[in-house]
Structure 1
Amino acid sequence: MAVSLSAGVRNSLASVQDITAQAAAVQSRLATGKRVNTAVDNPVNYFTASSLNNRSDQLKGLLDGMSNGIQTIQAASKGIDGVTKLVSSLQSTVKQAQADAAQNRPTKAGDALATTAEKIATSKSLKDIALDKLLVDDDADATNNAATETSSGNVGVATGAVSLAISIEVGDPAAGGSTFEASFDAENATVRDLVNEINKSGIATAFVDEKGQLNVKGTGSETVKFGLGSGADGDAAITDAQDGTSNVEIGFDVVDRTTTGIVGEAITSSTRSNLIEQYNTLRTQIDELAKDSGFNGVNLLAGDQVSLIFNEKTGTNQNKLSIQGTTLNSDNLGITEATNTTIDGFTNFQNDLDLEKATEQLNGALTSLKSLSSTFGANLAVANTRQDFTKGMADVLTTGASNLVNADANEEAANLLSLQTRQQLSQTALSLSSQADQAVLRLF
């Protein structure tokens, strides 16, 4: 059965119901923090915010991949730093070997050019007697070659020579060795002059020791061949020196310099030998360190590749950075293994030229490492920039979505307070309207 309500009661009741509905909506906004909870509330804002949030979530999902990629690059960069330190240690090892160079210079001492009898006759030291002797026998009389109180004597090089010459060969000239040839005037030339000429070469030195022996010593560790010759002019003397024709007169017992006239070969240095193991150990550690420079199974120093995706799109619209690694090891850096002998492709620690080559190898390795580090550094800068940009972009999208659907808590709280006040007033009005209907009861 329908209940009839007076117009006043019905209006008051409608007002209370409307206010209650509004209060419920405000309370829902305060509870959820959103003023648009469904498409019914505001279709445009609802779907726009949903799209913005979806893109923000996709970008945030890419951040993990970027982070892994950045860590992979940083791991490779740390590996390069470690390898660089090891190469610097290799340089120190080579410098130690080079500092010991003077200990293994090839040296040849000839027979004594002065005798005890000459020492007694001249009252000079054997060294001074040998240095003062003429090189050329001016009268071809072998009986007066000895030094006396009035004569300096001579070593007996061919009579009548106008020019003398020296020929010095270090190592193999065809494989990077050196050759020095020079002629000088034979007249009044002494052993001292010969010593000076040898010292001018820059590839060998000479001196006469206290025993009166002429010593020829290489400035490097390469085998040294020395020849003395004479002739009617400089060219003829040089040709003669190339065969070492006059070597025997200055105390060297080998005449044919071109085949067996070896002044001396490098002496094996124990210090250099001990440094070989240290050098090769450091070289091996370069390979091991590079192998350990990976992150999450990806190693850019082992030739792996890493790709960093920067946007949520696919296909040709996708933006990504692909970084191709390189296989980093001692061989690829051009650092050859150290040995104690001359072997193709290896570094002979007993050989000065090989040590210089090793220094060049290490300098080249450092240049390669700097270039590789620069490349990775540039890629890392790009990756970090894009990571920061993606984080900021995701925040912008989230904030934009929130601005479209989020409720203003202060405003909604004020609305609720106002509605509650109106609700109380409406309830009071409804009560007054009911009292008017109850007035009929007073008639009974």
Structure 2
Amino acid sequence: MATAISNGVRSSLASLQTITAQAAAVQNRLATGKKVNTAVDNPVNFFTAQSLNNRSDQLKGLLDGISNGIQTVQAASKGIDGITKLVGSLQSTVKQAQADAAQNRPTVVGTGTTLATASEAALTSKSLKDIALDKRVGSAGDTTVATATASSAGDLGIDTTATPALNIQIVTNPAAATSTTNISVALTANTTVRDVVNAINTSGVATAFVDEKGLLNVKGTGSETLGVGIGVGADAAAATTASATGTSNTAFGLAATDRTTGIASSGVTSATRSNLIEQFNTLRTQIDSLAKDAGFNGVNLLQGDKVTIAFNEKGGKNQTKLDIQGTNLTSDNIGIQQAGNAQVAGTINFQNDSDLEKATTALTNALTSLKSLSSTFGANLSVAQTRQDFTKDLAEVLSTGASNLVNADANEEAANLLSLQTRQQLSQTALSLSSQSDQAVLRLF
């Protein structure tokens, strides 16, 4: 059976219930920190915030992959830095070898006495070396050798009118003509043996000097067989043709076969250079080892691996990503050959100055390649780090946007709760007064 209550009590009770419900809602907002806890509270804000939070979580999930990609690139970059230092050490090793004179350079040595004789020394009171260097190559209409005297330097008997061009041909491995260099000299009545020696020395392919015996010496810069041919002619072309067979070799005290057959290396090796070979090869091996160890989490960009870094949560054509293709970095691939003590194809002969010079060039080119590779990785690393920062910021923006839609203002809700509590107390007082009014009626009986 329902209990009848007065209108005043009913009104006060309804007001109190409403205030209590509102206070409970405010307390829930304060407890959860959200003003929209379910779709019932605000469907638009609830589902929009949920979508924003989902995307934010997906982007945050990508950060681990981006971080791993960055570390992989950094590992490769550190590997390149280490390899660059090793190449620098290889350069130092080659320089040490170059600082020690090669012992196996072939030398073409004059065997005759054409350039200077003891009788000339007696007539001039000069050394055989100076007599030979001061002798003229020839003169106009000359066809016979002129002896040096106290008043004349003498000459080698070459007609500078009929044959005003002289050519010296320096050949590496004459049988195969591995390398041929032609050195031209214009002949005049004042051209001396000293001028010919200087022309050879400035060529860079050989060195020449006259020894104390007055004999012409031409020394190669490498260890290969050396051929030297001297020829004269009416013009440069004719002189070059003549030098190919060494037609004027005998005029300078050389054998005609010194051009066609050449002089082989002595075969003597430098102990200092030999000792540096092991050091060079050890450093070369370390390049390969370091490249193999420059991986991260099983991926090594210096061993030809590829790393893909995803920057957004989408798939297929809509996915934003960065593909970084590595390279197989080995000492062979950057042009650094193994060192040895002999002339073998594909190796550096440490006894050969030419090979050491080629090795110097190869090491410089290797550093250029490493610098280029490092620059490429650096650019990719910059992109990945920029996208990492962007992804972090974007995820934060999405989370903040979602929070703005559903989070409650703690200050505002606290003020509301205080107001509701005050109203609740007033409603309770009103209810009490309404009850007392009803009770007053009972006093009449």
TM-score, normalization: structure 1? 0.83
State how far apart, in whole Å, the 1-side matches of 2:333 and 2:237 are.
48
How many residue pairs get matched?
A: 437
Deviates more, 1:107-116 or 1:342-351: 107-116
State how far apart, in whole Å, the 1-side matches of 2:249 and 2:49 are.
101
SS at match of 1:262: coil
Gaps of 5+ in 1: none
Q: Could you tell me how far 1:295 is from its partner in structure 2? A: 0.9
- Do 2:348 and 2:356's aligned partners in 1 also have CA atoms closer than 8 Å? yes
AA matched with 1:57:
D
Alpha-carbon spacing, 1:211–1:443, altered in 2? closer, same or farther (3 Å) = same
**% same residue:** 69
Return the match for 1:176 from 176, 179, 199. Answer: 179
SS at match of 1:257: helix
Q: Where does residue 38 of structure 2 map in the other structure?
A: 38
- Do 2:105 and 2:220's aligned partners in 1 also have CA atoms closer than 8 Å? yes
Q: Could you tell me how far 1:105 is from its partner in structure 2? A: 4.3
Q: Where does residue 106 of structure 1 map in the other structure?
A: 106
State how far apart, in whole Å, the 2-side matches of 1:132 and 1:290 are.
60
Q: Where does residue 335 of structure 1 map in the other structure?
A: 336
State how far apart, in whole Å, the 1-side matches of 2:214 and 2:296 are.
70
Deviates more, 1:26-35 or 1:103-112: 103-112
Alpha-carbon spacing, 1:244–1:401, altered in 2? closer, same or farther (3 Å) = closer
1:272 and 2:260 are equivalent in the alignment: no
Q: Where does residue 347 of structure 1 map in the other structure?
A: 348
SS at match of 2:261: coil
Question: What does residue range 41-440 of structure 1 map to in structure 2 within 5 Å?
Answer: 41-101=41-101, 105-111=105-111, 113=113, 123-128=125-130, 130-131=132-133, 167-172=168-173, 174-180=177-183, 184=187, 195=197, 198-199=200-201, 203-219=205-221, 222-227=224-229, 242-244=244-246, 252=254, 254-262=255-263, 268-440=269-441
SS at match of 2:218: strand
1:26 and 2:26 are equivalent in the alignment: yes
AA matched with 2:8:
G
- Do 2:107 and 2:263's aligned partners in 1 also have CA atoms closer than 8 Å? no
State how far apart, in whole Å, the 1-side matches of 2:237 and 2:197 are.
20
- Do 2:102 and 2:269's aligned partners in 1 also have CA atoms closer than 8 Å? no
Deviations 1:98-122 (A, max 9, x none): 3335765433444584677876676
Deviates more, 1:61-70 or 1:197-206: 197-206
Deviates more, 1:409-418 or 1:260-269: 260-269
1:6 and 2:6 are equivalent in the alignment: yes
Alpha-carbon spacing, 1:183–1:219, altered in 2? closer, same or farther (3 Å) = farther
- Do 2:108 and 2:217's aligned partners in 1 also have CA atoms closer than 8 Å? yes
Q: Could you tell me how far 1:262 is from its partner in structure 2? A: 2.1
Gaps of 5+ in 2: none
- Do 2:78 and 2:294's aligned partners in 1 also have CA atoms closer than 8 Å? yes
State how far apart, in whole Å, the 1-side matches of 2:152 and 2:409 are.
122
Q: Could you tell me how far 1:292 is from its partner in structure 2? A: 1.1
Q: Could you tell me how far 1:39 is from its partner in structure 2? A: 1.5
Deviations 1:125-174 (A, max 9, x none): 443455567889x9989xxx99888998888x799x97695643231474
Deviates more, 1:311-320 or 1:58-67: 311-320
AA matched with 1:379:
N
